[in-house]
């Protein structure tokens, strides 16, 4: 009888709580992402409405109720645009150009200390590295 009770207690404490804690920690992250997404949509909508009123033109009233579907229409248009590749020249180099730009920017953040002893890349020329990055990547 004691073995059964211990088995039930150990099972309920370990497995059930692990599953519950596994779901609980993700709730603040999802709430934050949902809040940021809604804020971005509202800011874009307000910017378009205010721009329309300043320029004395009709605002977003044709894309759904109050123009709320305009952001979805813009996103769909952006995703379905035709990719244009050069007829002459290096197509692989043309394709990896945006990746090279983004990776170089992200690599520049390696030398920024994130804590007292937490630095991703401890370069002896870190300040020089950041200076060169901001000098040549700010155009």
Tokens, residue 118: 């937490």
Those residues with Cβ within 8 angstroms of residue 96's Cβ, 6 or more apart along the chain or in another chain? none
Those residues with Cβ within 8 angstroms of residue 15's Cβ, 6 or more apart along the chain or in another chain? none
Does residue 73 have a pLDDT over 90?
A: no
- Dump pLDDT digits (tens) for 15-65: 666 666 667 777 888 899 999 988 988 888 888 888 888 888 776 666 777
Those residues with Cβ within 8 angstroms of residue 108's Cβ, 6 or more apart along the chain or in another chain? 129, 130, 133, 137
Tokens, residue 86: 């050069």
Separation of alpha carbons 24 and 22, rounded Å: 6
Does residue 124 have a pLDDT over 60?
A: yes
């Amino acid at each position: 009888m004691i073995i059964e009770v211990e088995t039930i207690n150990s099972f309920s404490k370990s497995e059930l709580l692990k599953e519950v804690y596994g779901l609980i920690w993700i709730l603040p992250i999802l709430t934050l992402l949902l809040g940021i997404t809604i804020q971005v949509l509202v800011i874009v909508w307000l910017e378009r409405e205010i721009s329309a009123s300043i320029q004395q033109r009709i605002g977003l009233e044709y894309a759904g109720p109050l123009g709320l579907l305009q952001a979805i229409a813009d996103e769909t248009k952006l995703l379905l645009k035709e990719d244009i590749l050069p007829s002459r020249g290096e197509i692989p180099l043309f394709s990896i150009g945006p990746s090279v730009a983004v990776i170089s920017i992200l690599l520049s953040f390696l030398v920024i200390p994130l804590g007292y002893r937490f630095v991703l890349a401890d370069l002896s020329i870190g300040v020089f590295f950041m200076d060169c990055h901001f000098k040549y990547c700010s155009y």
